[in-house]
Each structure stands twice: as structure tokens, then as C-alpha cells.
């Protein structure tokens, strides 16, 4: 694969965001057609990259070469972890954009919706390809600012309030992140992530990196909605239009939060056991508190939002276990299992949680309610929504043979092998509670006594297409557990996390 191709991942959606307001002047329908085309191109490009580019590449924009071994160019870095994230981001973006064609017809100002959606996608793709902290921050802000506006897109009171809360907490997180970046630049005189890694490896001060990592846990913990930094998420995810809820929960919090933590803490900073334990503790708290909050929710989208907190907890728990094992220099099998489970769950959660938010949007679109107590009897009228939501519910609850079972099982096995029996127990309990509230969703929405309102009907074909496709993926992604298939998609990302000292040397050649 040519190195310059990686710039297309953010240039194409940025160009689309620029062009759509112009094409709208001639054809008001054009934005809703352009966006799915853009996301399909990005999805095909990401799949092509994973297949054809198994090795790491670093592309310096403008062709500037290092001066006295100091990288002065803007670097874009593609490796196994980047390719893994690009596929997930653009997969969810494609199905969400197709779903939005019909779903967004009831909203005004659609041209702005699709522009903002393209900007959010461009920002996320840019984050996973950035090789320096400054541009990582810039792309983070492009996605974040777009999502603030998209949460408030319906301009109702609750939506505006949710967006305001999201902006305030997101802005505070951005300031904390910017402070951490400034501290790193003050200490190392560089913003290139590979160069920072090299400088910190040779630094005499071991306290400074730990201090900055704790700062970043706060900043990126807000972006990832970890407990106790989660206050913005239930309102934001439940208030946004459902295609955007699918994007926010499916990929945004993982890209701006989880991915950046993975990249910085395993590729840039030296592993520290104390910091790893902090991450593990936050993951465990998020895992169990998230399911308890979801258990008592009756607003369907709010239930799904709380559930996202729990599943981010699963991902961070796996990450924390792997980091602890590597920092101790023992049991690489447990570390490999933990990273595999964490990454596998990122992919699974993107699919089944994205699908569940699309299901929630379909029910709201047809029945005009998100309150499960006001639903009932929808199984007869919405068979596609019923079947696809059941597939997603089983997957998120960890029921075999759906894909969520395997990623949860791997994380639990890693916890047991590593000796974290309490964490393994929490993961099992969280899974049982998850099953209980998704059975509540199935009962009250589809099988309960009808609410007495006029009969509803199934949603339009394009919305059904996205739901059916993601429902099939909830089952098909189980094959990622097989060695031959895992080698092409999951293992390169796992290897990137395991090779903690290789990131800088491969880019800088030192």
C-alpha cells in the first residue's frame, strides 16, 4: 500500500463536509446520498489497508526528513492497532449513515447534520493515525466539537441541556489533556510520539511520566466515560439522534478515550504497575456500577447509555490486566489474552451497541416513545427490529454463539490466569445483570401487553438494512476467535500492544 493513501482517511470526509453545503444549493437531497458514499469508500479503504498493509508505516506530510535525528514533520502512523480501529470506525459510520437517510427526514437542517457527521468521522480517523500529540489533540477536538452539535441537533430542551453538559465536561477534559501535552513538551521539547517515547526511556526523572499519565487518565477518562468521569454520557447518548447515538457509543468514546489510552500508555510511556492498577480499578468500577445504573433505567436509550459505561469497563479491565502483567515482566500469555479480549470487545461493542441504538431509534420512530413502560406488543408489527435487537441483546449479554460471549470469556480467563479472581467475579456478575435488563427490554418492548395506541409498522427499508447487517455481524464476528481469521485482523493489533518498546524504534530507526 502506498504511504500517502493513509491521508485519505481524513481528507475524504473533510472534503465531503466542505462540498455538501455547495451541492445542497443545487440538490437538497445530495448530502444524504454523499455521506453513505463517503463512508462506504472509507470502509473499503480501511479493509484494503488491513489486508494489504500488515506492517507499520510512517508517512511524513510534506516529505520533511528528521534533522539531527529530530523529527520535524507531521507524522501519520499506520500499524495493526490503527488499521483495527479504522475498520471499526468506518463500519459503524457506514451503517449509521445509511440508517440516517430515512431516520433524519423528520429533522430540519439535514445538510448540517451530514456535514457534522463527516467532520466527526474525519476527526476519529485522524486520531488513530496521528503520530504527534498536537495533531492528535486537534483531531480529538474536531470530533468532539462535531458531537456537541449533533447531540443538540433536535434543539429540544433536554437535547440542549445534554449538549451543554457534554460541552462543559468535554471542554474541561480537553483543558486537562492540553495541560498534559504542554507538560510533556516542556520536559522533552518534542510533540512527536515516537520521539517522546525515546526521550522518556532515557530520562532520569521517573516521577514525571507517572504524573502525566495520571493527568491523562482524568482527561481521556472523561472522553471514555469511565466511572467517575461519566456524568455527561447518559444525557448525551440518549438525547442525540439514534444514528449519532450509535456513533457516540459504538466508536467515539473508544476512539477519543480508550484508543488514545492504549496508544499512549503502551507505545509512548514506559509501563508502570501503579498506573496500570489505577486503570484496572477504574475498569472494574465502571463495569459493575454501569450495569447497576442500567438495571434501574426505563428510558431505553438511557439504559443503553449506562450499559456503555459497563462495557467500557470490560475493555479497560482487560487493558489494565495486560499492562500489569507486562509491567511485572511475567505471564505474557495472560497479557496476550487480556489484550485480545479487550480489543475483541471493542469490535463487538461497536457492532452490538451500535445496533441496539439503531433498534431504539426504530422503536422511537415507529411508536414515538423511549419509555419501555409505554411500549408493548411490537413483536407482531416490527419483526425485523425484534429479531435484530434479540441478536444484539444476546451478544451484549455474552450468550453463545454470539460474538460478545467470546470477548467476555477471554477477559475473564485472563483475569483468572493473572490471579485477579475478584475482577473475574465482577465480570461474571456484570454479565448476569446485563442479561437481566436486556431480557426486561425484550419483554416490555415486544411481548408485553400492547399500550393501546394505534398499531405501528416496521421502519423503512434502509433502516432495516443497517439493522439486519449489524445483527448478522453479531453472529459472524464470533469467527474472529478462530486462529486463521484472527491472524488477519485481531492479532496485528494485539501484537502492536505487546511490542511496547518497538513503536519508537520502528519509526525513528534508533
Tell me the pLDDT tens digit for each residue of 56-78: 888 877 666 666 666 777 888 89
pLDDT tens, residue by residue, 40-58: 999 999 999 888 866 788 8
Kindly report the CA angle at 201 between 199 and 204, in degrees rounded to 5?
85
pLDDT tens, residue by residue, 95-111: 999 999 999 888 777 77
The mean per-residue pLDDT over the stretch 150-170 comes to 85
**What was the pLDDT predicted at 239?**
87
Which one has a higher pLDDT value, 136 or 198? 136
CA distance 87 to 341: 17
Would the pLDDT of 223 be above 90? yes
Give per-residue burial for 332-352: e unless 16+ CB within 10 Å, then b. Answer: eebbbbbbbbbbbbbbbbbbb
pLDDT tens, residue by residue, 17-30: 999 989 888 888 88
Helix (H) or strand (E) holding 51: helix 30-52
The three grid cell numbers given for residue 48, joined into one nine-digit string: 484494503
Which one has a higher pLDDT value, 170 or 332? 170
- Range from 87-91, 189-193, 316-320 carrying the lowest mean pLDDT: 189-193
Residue labelled with grid coordinates 407482531: 380
**What was the pLDDT predicted at 128?**
94
As a whole-number percent, the residues of the chain with pLDDT over 70 amount to 95
pLDDT tens, residue by residue, 433-485: 999 989 999 988 888 777 656 577 888 889 999 999 999 999 999 888 888 78
The mean per-residue pLDDT over the stretch 219-247 comes to 90
- Range from 59-68, 70-79, 189-198, 276-285 carrying the lowest mean pLDDT: 59-68
Q: Which of 146, 14, 130 is nearest to 61 (CA)?
A: 130
The three grid cell numbers given for residue 180, joined into one nine-digit string: 498534559
What is the DSSP code (8-state) at residue 7?
A: G
**What was the pLDDT predicted at 287?**
94
Q: Most distant CA pair in the chain: distance in Å? A: 75
**What was the pLDDT predicted at 371?**
84
**What was the pLDDT predicted at 481?**
87
| pLDDT winner (highest mean) among 12-16, 196-200, 482-486 | 12-16
**What was the pLDDT predicted at 203?**
66
Helix (H) or strand (E) holding 127: helix 110-129
**What was the pLDDT predicted at 394?**
93
What is the DSSP code (8-state) at residue 58?
A: E
Helix (H) or strand (E) holding 16: helix 8-26
Cβ atoms of 349 and 250 closer than 8 Å: yes
CA distance 141 to 199: 26
Cα dihedral across residues 179, 183, 188, 194: positive or negative: negative
**What was the pLDDT predicted at 222?**
93
Q: How many CB atoms lie within 10 A of CB 172?
A: 15
Q: Where does the pLDDT of residue 378 fall: very low under 50, low under 70, confident under 90, or very high at 90 and above?
A: confident
**What was the pLDDT predicted at 13?**
95
The three grid cell numbers given for residue 144, joined into one nine-digit string: 468532539
Would the pLDDT of 204 be above 70? no
CA-based end-to-end distance of the chain: 24
Q: Is 336 left (phi over 0), alpha (psi -120 to 50) or beta?
A: alpha
**What was the pLDDT predicted at 454?**
59
Q: Where does the pLDDT of residue 135 fall: very low under 50, low under 70, confident under 90, or very high at 90 and above?
A: very high
User: What residues contact residue 439 under an 8 Å CB cut-off, 6+ apart?
Assistant: 393
Q: How many CB atoms lie within 10 A of CB 304?
A: 28
**What was the pLDDT predicted at 480?**
86
Q: How many CB atoms lie within 10 A of CB 268?
A: 25
CA distance 303 to 291: 9
CA distance 395 to 261: 26
Cβ atoms of 76 and 139 closer than 8 Å: no
Would the pLDDT of 510 be above 70? no
The three grid cell numbers given for residue 373, joined into one nine-digit string: 413502560
The domain locations on the chain are: 3-508
CA distance 294 to 437: 7
**What was the pLDDT predicted at 91?**
95
Would the pLDDT of 264 be above 80? yes
0.95 exceeded by the pTM?
no
Q: Which of 129, 42, 22 is nearest to 90 (CA)?
A: 42
For the chain, the average pLDDT equals 88
Helices (H), 381-482: 383-396, 403-418, 421-442, 461-476
**What was the pLDDT predicted at 69?**
64
Q: Where does the pLDDT of residue 316 fall: very low under 50, low under 70, confident under 90, or very high at 90 and above?
A: very high
**What was the pLDDT predicted at 1?**
61
**What was the pLDDT predicted at 319?**
94
Cβ atoms of 45 and 6 closer than 8 Å: no
Amino acid at each position: 500500500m502506498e504511504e500517502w493513501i493513509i491521508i485519505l482517511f481524513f481528507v475524504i470526509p473533510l472534503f465531503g463536509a466542505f462540498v455538501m453545503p455547495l451541492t445542497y444549493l443545487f440538490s437538497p437531497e445530495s448530502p444524504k446520498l454523499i455521506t453513505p458514499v463517503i463512508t462506504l469508500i472509507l470502509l473499503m479503504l480501511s479493509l484494503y489497508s488491513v489486508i494489504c498493509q500488515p506492517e507499520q508505516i510512517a508517512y511524513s506530510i510534506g516529505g520533511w526528513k528528521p534533522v539531527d535525528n529530530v523529527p520535524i514533520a507531521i507524522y501519520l502512523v499506520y500499524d495493526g492497532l490503527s488499521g483495527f480501529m479504522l475498520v471499526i470506525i468506518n463500519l459503524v459510520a457506514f451503517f449509521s449513515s445509511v440508517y440516517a437517510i430515512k431516520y433524519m427526514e423528520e429533522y430540519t437542517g439535514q445538510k448540517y447534520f451530514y456535514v457534522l457527521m463527516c467532520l466527526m468521522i474525519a476527526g476519529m480517523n485522524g486520531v488513530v493515525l496521528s503520530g504527534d500529540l498536537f495533531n492528535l489533540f486537534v483531531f480529538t477536538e474536531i470530533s468532539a466539537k462535531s458531537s456537541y452539535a449533533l447531540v443538540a441537533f433536535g434543539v429540544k430542551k433536554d437535547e440542549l441541556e445534554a449538549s451543554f453538559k457534554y460541552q462543559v465536561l468535554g471542554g474541561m477534559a480537553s483543558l486537562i489533556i492540553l495541560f498534559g501535552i504542554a507538560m510533556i513538551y516542556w520536559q522533552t521539547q518534542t510533540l512527536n510520539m515516537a520521539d517522546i517515547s525515546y526521550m522518556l526511556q532515557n530520562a532520569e526523572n521517573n516521577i514525571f511520566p507517572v504524573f502525566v499519565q495520571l493527568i491523562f487518565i482524568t482527561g481521556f477518562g472523561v472522553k471514555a466515560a469511565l466511572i467517575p468521569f461519566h456524568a455527561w454520557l447518559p444525557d448525551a447518548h440518549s438525547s442525540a439522534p439514534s444514528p449519532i447515538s450509535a456513533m457516540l457509543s459504538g466508536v467515539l468514546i473508544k476512539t477519543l478515550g480508550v484508543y488514545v489510552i492504549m496508544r499512549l500508555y503502551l507505545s509512548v510511556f514506559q509501563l508502570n504497575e501503579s498506573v496500570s492498577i489505577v486503570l484496572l480499578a477504574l475498569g472494574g468500577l465502571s463495569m459493575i456500577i454501569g450495569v447497576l445504573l442500567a438495571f434501574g433505567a426505563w428510558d431505553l436509550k438511557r439504559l443503553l447509555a449506562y450499559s456503555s459505561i459497563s462495557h467500557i469497563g470490560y475493555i479497560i479491565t482487560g487493558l489494565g490486566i495486560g499492562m500489569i502483567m507486562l509491567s511485572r515482566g511475567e505471564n505474557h500469555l495472560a497479557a496476550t489474552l487480556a489484550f485480545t479480549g479487550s480489543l475483541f470487545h471493542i469490535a463487538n461493542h461497536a457492532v452490538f451497541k451500535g445496533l441496539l441504538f439503531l433498534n431504539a431509534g426504530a422503536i422511537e420512530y415507529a411508536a414515538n416513545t423511549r419509555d419501555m413502560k409505554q411500549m408493548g406488543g411490537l413483536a407482531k408489527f416490527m419483526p425485523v427490529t425484534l429479531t435484530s435487537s434479540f441478536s444484539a441483546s444476546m451478544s451484549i449479554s455474552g450468550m453463545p454463539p454470539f460474538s460478545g460471549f467470546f470477548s467476555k470469556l477471554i477477559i475473564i480467563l485472563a483475569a483468572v490466569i493473572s490471579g485477579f479472581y475478584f475482577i473475574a467475579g465482577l465480570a461474571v456478575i456484570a454479565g448476569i445483570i446485563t442479561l437481566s435488563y436486556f431480557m426486561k427490554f425484550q419483554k416490555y418492548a415486544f411481548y408485553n401487553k400492547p399500550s393501546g395506541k394505534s398499531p405501528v409498522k416496521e421502519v423503512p427499508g434502509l433502516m432495516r438494512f443497517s439493522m439486519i447487517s449489524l445483527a448478522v455481524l453479531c453472529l459472524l464476528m464470533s469467527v474472529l476467535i478462530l486462529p486463521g481469521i484472527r491472524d488477519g485482523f485481531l492479532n496485528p493489533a494485539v501484537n502492536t500492544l505487546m511490542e511496547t518498546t518497538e513503536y519508537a524504534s520502528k519509526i525513528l530507526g534508533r
